Structure 1
Amino acid sequence: MMGRILGVIGDPIEHSLSPKLHNWVLQQLELNEDYEYRPFRVSSTALAAFLQEVREKELHGLNVTIPHKESIIPLLDEIDPMADRLGAVNTIVRIDNKLKGYNTDGLGFLRAACTNKISLKNARVVMLGAGGSAKAVAFALTGAGIAQLSLYNRSPDRAIELRAQLLSKTNFSAIDVHRLSDRECLCADLSQATLLINTTPIGMFPHADKSPLPLPEALHEGLTVYDLVYNPSETSLMREAHHRGARVFNGLDMLIYQGLESLRLWLGENDLSKIERKISLPELREVLYEVLGVAV
């Protein structure tokens, strides 16, 4: 008897680490005979028909990646409040032929921060970028007790829009917006910052020599740098920060934990620790980096 089918949909989909991540975890949980995780390449024009097949063929759950995270929302039967806030879905759970959308990106960030002992309480945060990843992280931060959030983007329009959404949908108001080219403000904010987060793809393979930060000299030992890029395992920004005494982390743990949060939803678990206890995070990191062909 074939087990329940899980999967990830996107276009393209060949680059996704999700099948390796989930099938490895399912094996550690001794659920690999009950569940199988597959990639599905689904174009935008085929999305509605595919979701109808999901209902009829009883796929148990899906991850959603580019370009469907926003366009899929009106095609679902129900949306979790956080996914609704973010305007993006990365996880679908099938319940009685109905599809409910969730977003686990923010939780993934918070879990990764906790695992790596990154203090968010009263943190003064500088964030680079204002896209989808920035939105998920920013909403998570506003509920985590930070003191200040400074948004920097090449074009301020998206950052201004993100600030407006945060102000209207959360109780957090200590948010300012600047152009990334405003070196004076950036230098001043970094001097007071305890956490720098890069949510842009700058520095990602094959452009690993690039850094999103125009002022590496403003990095300091009182800073923690969290780069959402995970390929390469040490980005140019991370090297610059480490050289100046800062703690540095890449984005692989956020990827892992958003995936584990998805799996928790599919398995109907209330507590992620039941899954965490049965897997080795260092071993999972190694497995994923081996797939990427990245030296750790």
Structure 2
Amino acid sequence: MKLYGVVGDPIAHSLSPLLHNYAFDELDIAAHYQPFHIKNDQLAAFVTACRTLDIQGWNVTIPHKQTIVQHLDRLDPLCEAIGAVNTVVKVREEYVGYNTDGVGFLKGLEEVRKVNTGDRVLIIGAGGAAKAILYTLHDAGIRQVDVYNRTAGNAQNLLQESPFSHSGEVLAYEEGIVDCTMYDLVVQTTSVGMYPHINVSPIEAHFREGSCVVDIIYTPFETKLLTAARNQGCCVQNGIPMFVHQARLAFSLWTEADAPIEAWKRLITNQLGGTATC
């Protein structure tokens, strides 16, 4: 039996074992997916153990997405540009790092809206998820991607470090009030509004009717930001599509099989006790 897993600190909350073990069972693949609670000072030893035990691949979550890089043999080019790994694949005798977050976001977004190179996009936040999404949008040819973050320097660094040609700008922080009416797509990547702090929003925004607003949070299913956007006539999407699509890409990299993505969505919805906003 082949062994896969997810490494993070903490890790008990992860829904990835639920998804991948379900897919292994459904597709009759002799494999198991195991959560590994690994602290920073244990990461090198963990990778060494993976080589000894012939572990075929694993996902990487907070706080190891960047520090895992130094322990791998090589990186996929987009992953190298992003500088963070969320999926590791054993290729012959090498451990290769990938980042499926950004591509997973785009695949999920396509369920409600096609992206165009002429779109004007706003990303809220400047962390690891924002970076993966920004670089993937740039790689897809979308040049006008602005960034809003309370710490303007972090947003500026995010744009300046992108290896892709772009014309994005940093939005100045003005007490959290943002005019989003010029944007075709707004993507919220911070943890603000996540359960249990469901009555807060990273911004007070005015949206353009018909635009699309995505919040990568999926607990709650509809954040305060998404409710405001829906009430202003926007298409809204929560974080479930991104989550399942990035997992689907990882599953395919490991097994070359297509995961049962619709069943995955139902599993997550049932596990979290709600109905996805997609």
Confirm or deny that 1:286 pairs with 2:276: no
TM-score (norm 1): 0.88
Q: 1:7 aligns with which of 5, 8, 33?
A: 5
Equivalent residues of 2:107, 2:242 under 8 A apart: yes
In structure 2, relative to structure 1, the CA distance for the partners of 1:250 and 1:120 (3 Å cut) is: farther
Equivalent residues of 1:56, 1:97 under 8 A apart: no
Equivalent residues of 1:55, 1:94 under 8 A apart: no
Residue 212 of structure 1 corresponds to: 202
The C-alpha deviation readout for 1:95-135, integer Å capped at 9, x for no partner, is 33321111111110111122223433311111111110000
Equivalent residues of 1:120, 1:141 under 8 A apart: no
Counterpart-to-counterpart distance in 2, 1:62 and 1:135:
21
Opposite residue 290 of structure 1, the aligned amino acid is N
Equivalent residues of 2:90, 2:96 under 8 A apart: yes
CA RMSD, 1 decimal: 1.7
Q: Percent same amino acid among aligned pairs?
A: 37
Pairwise mapping of residues 97-112 of structure 1 onto structure 2 (< 5 A)?
97-112=93-108
Confirm or deny that 1:140 pairs with 2:136: yes
Residue 164 of structure 2 corresponds to: 170
Pairwise mapping of residues 202-281 of structure 1 onto structure 2 (< 5 A)?
202-215=192-205, 218-267=206-255, 269=256, 275=258, 279-281=260-262
Residue 70 of structure 1 corresponds to: 66
Equivalent residues of 1:13, 1:41 under 8 A apart: yes
Counterpart-to-counterpart distance in 2, 1:135 and 1:247:
23
TM-score (norm 2): 0.94
Counterpart-to-counterpart distance in 2, 1:255 and 1:51:
24
In structure 2, relative to structure 1, the CA distance for the partners of 1:201 and 1:138 (3 Å cut) is: same
Question: Shift of the alpha carbon at 1:182?
Answer: 6.6
Deviates more, 1:119-128 or 1:5-14: 119-128
Structure 2: runs of 5 or more not aligned:
none
In structure 2, relative to structure 1, the CA distance for the partners of 1:234 and 1:180 (3 Å cut) is: same
Equivalent residues of 1:63, 1:91 under 8 A apart: yes
Question: Shift of the alpha carbon at 1:180?
Answer: 3.1
Q: Secondary structure at 2:67's aligned position in 1?
A: coil
Counterpart-to-counterpart distance in 2, 1:77 and 1:146:
31
Q: 2:16 aligns with which of 15, 18, 34?
A: 18
> How many corresponding residue pairs?
276
Equivalent residues of 1:58, 1:97 under 8 A apart: no
Question: Shift of the alpha carbon at 1:295?
Answer: 4.5
Deviates more, 1:75-84 or 1:125-134: 75-84
Question: Shift of the alpha carbon at 1:6?
Answer: 0.6
Residue 53 of structure 1 corresponds to: 49
The C-alpha deviation readout for 1:14-67, integer Å capped at 9, x for no partner, is 011110111122223232xx1111111111111111111100111111001111
Confirm or deny that 1:85 pairs with 2:85: no
Opposite residue 52 of structure 1, the aligned amino acid is T
Equivalent residues of 2:244, 2:261 under 8 A apart: no
Counterpart-to-counterpart distance in 2, 1:113 and 1:26:
26
Confirm or deny that 1:197 pairs with 2:193: no
Opposite residue 121 of structure 1, the aligned amino acid is T
Pairwise mapping of residues 139-158 of structure 1 onto structure 2 (< 5 A)?
139-158=135-154
Q: Point out the structure with the larger helix share.
A: 1
Opposite residue 67 of structure 2, the aligned amino acid is S
Counterpart-to-counterpart distance in 1, 2:224 and 2:192:
9
